[in-house]
Amino acid sequence: MTPEHGDPEDGDLVEAAPECEIPAEVGEAVRTLIRWAGDDPDREGLLDTPRRVAKAWREYARGYAEDPSAHLTRTFDEVGGYDEIVLLKDIPFQSHCEHHMAPIIGKASIAYLPRDRVVGISKLARVLHGFARRLQVQERLTAQVADTIWEHLQPKGVAVIIEATHACMTARGVNTPGVMMTTSRMMGTFREDERSRREVLALMGY
């Protein structure tokens, strides 16, 4: 297997959530919210909504049940002497704002400069999804992805840039759609060396 082609054991990057039993108090909480919002949880169109919402949130919050760093334990050193930047660009993700539990929809570019080992490319996306499937703020999500890669791969450099829209801003409050928030974290040579930083930013399209 070559890391360029990913891990043959990997299926889709985002797997379907397993079936789970819905606790009665969770369903009742959704019914209470529907009632508080001004609707009738017993009308036909809303009868199954508590179950659907609970099941959806079990999927949205799957990241709490995993350790994203576990995806970086299997590495490869047979890379033909390759020692340049490895970049996975424009990875789509979704998360939820911890302040309003509103959707965060965006994309991430993740790069590292290997010291002597690399990981299968899907693993970078899995690290992102593992942290994104939690209640989040974008700044912390960016730092968590970068710090995890830095700690477990021990590369020469790590660069993570995330762009996302936040429904807590676009659909409520200031009601300003079309606004994109950008956060970044540069570590190692990408932070310390301007030439390396310019190179990785150019590869990312910035």
Residues of the chain short of pLDDT 50, as ranges, are 1-9, 11-12
pLDDT at 8: 42
| Nearest partner of 162 among 147, 134, 141, judged by Cα | 141
The per-residue pLDDT for range 170-185, each reduced to its tens digit, is: 998 888 888 999 999 9
The per-residue pLDDT for range 56-82, each reduced to its tens digit, is: 999 999 999 999 999 999 999 877 778
CB 46, CB 39: distance < 8 Å? yes
Whether 138 is a known active-site residue: answer yes
Whether 166 is a known active-site residue: answer yes
Whether 97 is a known active-site residue: answer yes
pTM above 0.85, yes or no: yes
Read off the amino acid at residue 98: E
Question: Residue 85's CB: how many other CB atoms inside 10 A?
Answer: 20
CB 149, CB 112: distance < 8 Å? yes
**Which of these is catalytic: 59, 66, 98, 163?**
98
pLDDT at 19: 64
